[in-house]
Structure 1
Amino acid sequence: MFLKTCSLLFRILLVCPLALGKQDIFLESSNGSYLRDPVDTTNSQWNPAASFAAVAALLGVAPPSFTDRETSDQVEKLLVPNPFSRPKIVFTLEVEGANEGDFKAPSAASEIANGLRYHAKQTPDASSGDMDKIASLFSSSAGSNERTHEHLAMDCAHDKSLEAYLHGVAELKKGSYIPAAEPMQGELALGGDGSTKTLNLNRTASERQVGFEAACLAKKAESLWPSESPRFITGKLSGLAAVQEEHGPQSEEVTAASQLMVAALQQVFGNAASANDGDMVSQLSLLGKSTDRHTSVGGQEGARRKILQSEENSRDAKIWMSTFMAISVGFFLTVLLLISICCMFDMDVKEDTLLYGNSKKDS
């Protein structure tokens, strides 16, 4: 009985998303008019539904889930009552694998939001499903032909100009980028915390991924310019989670990757806020990762990937087996048909044969 109970608890810890947690940071420029001045910037508990309700209110759409009194009070303390004015751009970005030690508010939040007005809130739920519903409501609501929902895809892998952006991001952390013979395969040296941390983009796929995401994010910031029609921009980064999974949550590579991502986010939100002159509100969601669960079972994301890979391999094996069986049966039936035809040519014409063939024997 005891072993069964332990096994059940282990499975719950493996799949439970609440173990991850989430930190939400709302940002706008200092001359913006949509966020209240924060009373304090410490990690305060935040209802998960309040983030979705706040984004929905900024977009001018009804929140997809019910809003209770607690959620309404939290949104009211966050947003300035301004029913006749909406920001031109609402930008939401999720960062998977954000380690609490590197992204813990207020230190990381104040660094990312350097010179900006911001609120940092801690939530126990890492769910992001409602944001997709908000995007759907935003695109299908009245006047949707004048609204655009854009997904910030990290599709810059073949962009030869990325290294220039990587130089700029590294300089924010008092570091440098040493290029290699091949583009985007050099070494980053970051010294923001007093000690130099290195990230070799040619060493592992995860380090290369987080380098691409940082440079691509800095390049994508150039597209966050104001427009006449409202824009809802969403994005997701998973490079940090990949580095944690490959090297472990306490490794030097994770520390360097976290510093690089903080610098990239600082550059993005700073440049975007300046370009939009107070007409943009951003929400940054930092999804943490359970250290104990990572070291014991490889993390929820790692387990999910292994399961998906196992299912894909099983599906491929079934396809090959079905193809082999179909070819084998077809070959066997073809051989039988040829043998039958040969046997028919060698048959003697007898009275019984003509009788079953509806023919009459000549007399």
Structure 2
Amino acid sequence: MDSKTPTVFFAILLIISSILCLQSRADGTGSVYFLDSDTHNYFQSQPSESKSISLPEVGAAVSVLLGFAPPSTLSSASSAKLNEVLKANPFNRPHAVFLLEINGFEDKQLELGSNSDLSSKAFKSELAIGDADVQLSDEDELSLISLNEPLPMEFTDTDITNFASLFGGSYVNDELESLSGELTIPLANDAQLKLDMSKEADRKFVTGIISLIQNVQRAKQVHEDLVGSGPTPAELINGRFDGFKAFQEQYGNDDIVQKGAELLTTAISKIYSSLQTTYKGEIVGTVVFTKSSPAKQSDTILNIKLATNPSPRWLEEEKEGSNDAARILIAEVLLVRRTLAWITGIILVIATLMGVWFLLYMPLTRDTLLYSNVKLD
């Protein structure tokens, strides 16, 4: 064997590993913005040098903000990093988080402070993208609301008109065909964004923002119902926005892409401001920017996992993935218990009614046991 063979082999391995490393850096990075409250301070002030944060650390931060303990697997270095982001007071937690993932572009295209005051309340950090879980308590202590629920009805020209009015714009619809008009939105510095609803990329971008706004409205209604029904659980409003990706792929580096990013910025600002009003400042935002989208449309980079505590009620629930024998055994146990409970209850009711009847209609004679010690003349 040639002596140069091992050297060539290791050189090839080095080149391949370098390529993979560069690829992972190109597709595996992003950034995260922690948006503070209008009336409370839940985050530390932005340091002069921003440090990178990993996705598991973001998940741990979300858990702490909701009032739950961070994962036990969190390292001491990660715990120290959380202390640099979050306020140290454990009694000062919002117990409500607006978690939004924006996929398909880098955050330099969408500076949150370009036309809003969100940047003054934002703690920004570079993010290493990967899979991570958000470990939370069971579902009885958490209200989990998805922002990617399908809407019951198709979008109409009226929805586009209302959307344009929300941003001070206008929509000229096509009388011959629905969703084919021109949408005009005013932007900063007297600029305008004009979108053609007959184009698929423009329509997906706009309807994606409308869907996001309407699902946030649904989340606010759920919050108001929870407040009126008793103790309010922790609330996580979680969603993903993919509407910008097709828009950018359609126009590339055109100026309209930057204008579209500015429109999305304004939409996020309005959404977050409305949440602040509804929650009276007791909510924070976490906006994650990623360059690449998840493999599945239903996936998010932060997987929400609820801890399960053993409870008798689990006997009544079918656990996904359990075998047929276990389900049959559970059903038999429940049938026996319910049968015994019903039979015992029926016997007690009958015995009680009979006892009451005999007491009420007992004859008053000397032989009566109740009056056996009473002397009657």
The two structures have a TM-score, normalised by structure 2, of: 0.62
- Cα deviation digits, residues 61-118 of structure 1 (max 9, x gap): 34447333442233212222232354242110000123444224xxx24645549732
Q: Is the 8 A contact 2:43 2:87 kept in 1?
A: yes
Further displaced range: 19-28 or 183-192: 183-192
| Aligned residue number for residue 215 of structure 1 | 210
- Cα deviation digits, residues 17-45 of structure 1 (max 9, x gap): 65352221111322124223x245x7823
Identity of paired residues, percent? 21
- Can you give the 5+ residue segments of structure 2 that lack an aligned partner in the other structure? 1-7, 227-231, 297-377
SS at match of 1:180: coil
Change (3 A) 1:80 1:7: closer
Further displaced range: 179-188 or 272-281: 179-188
Change (3 A) 1:229 1:20: same
| Aligned residue number for residue 201 of structure 1 | 197
Structure 2 distance, partners of 1:62, 1:282, is 19
- Can you give the 5+ residue segments of structure 1 that lack an aligned partner in the other structure? 290-299, 306-363
Q: Does structure 1 residue 229 correspond to structure 2 residue 224?
A: no
Q: Does structure 1 residue 163 correspond to structure 2 residue 170?
A: no
Q: Does structure 1 residue 178 correspond to structure 2 residue 176?
A: no
* Mapping of residues 344-359 of structure 1, within 5 Å: none
SS at match of 2:183: strand
Structure 2 distance, partners of 1:260, 1:230, is 31
Q: Which of 248, 258, 261 lines up with 1:258 in the alignment?
A: 261
| Aligned residue number for residue 121 of structure 2 | 117
Counterpart amino acid of 1:122? E
| Aligned residue number for residue 136 of structure 2 | 138
Q: Does structure 1 residue 58 correspond to structure 2 residue 58?
A: no
SS at match of 1:29: coil
Q: Is the 8 A contact 1:22 1:122 kept in 2?
A: yes
Q: Is the 8 A contact 1:214 1:261 kept in 2?
A: yes
Structure 2 distance, partners of 1:85, 1:66, is 24
CA apart distance, 1:276 = 0.8
Counterpart amino acid of 1:233? I
| Aligned residue number for residue 340 of structure 1 | none
Q: Does structure 1 residue 28 correspond to structure 2 residue 28?
A: no
Q: Does structure 1 residue 275 correspond to structure 2 residue 278?
A: yes
Change (3 A) 1:229 1:11: same
Q: Is the 8 A contact 1:215 1:264 kept in 2?
A: no
CA apart distance, 1:188 = 2.7
Structure 2 distance, partners of 1:115, 1:109, is 4
Q: Is the 8 A contact 1:43 1:120 kept in 2?
A: no
The two structures have a TM-score, normalised by structure 1, of: 0.64
Counterpart amino acid of 1:180? D
Structure 2 distance, partners of 1:184, 1:65, is 51
CA apart distance, 1:238 = 0.7
Greater fraction helix = 1
SS at match of 1:209: helix
SS at match of 1:16: helix
Structure 1 distance, partners of 2:14, 2:173, is 50
CA apart distance, 1:5 = 8.2
Q: Is the 8 A contact 1:186 1:202 kept in 2?
A: yes
Q: Which of 137, 144, 153 lines up with 1:149 in the alignment?
A: 144
Instruction: Provide the alpha-carbon RMSD of the alignment.
Output: 3.4
Structure 1 distance, partners of 2:219, 2:155, is 19
* Mapping of residues 280-319 of structure 1, within 5 Å: 280-287=283-290, 289=291
Counterpart amino acid of 2:249? E
CA apart distance, 1:7 = 9.2
CA apart distance, 1:14 = 8.9
Q: Is the 8 A contact 1:199 1:257 kept in 2?
A: no
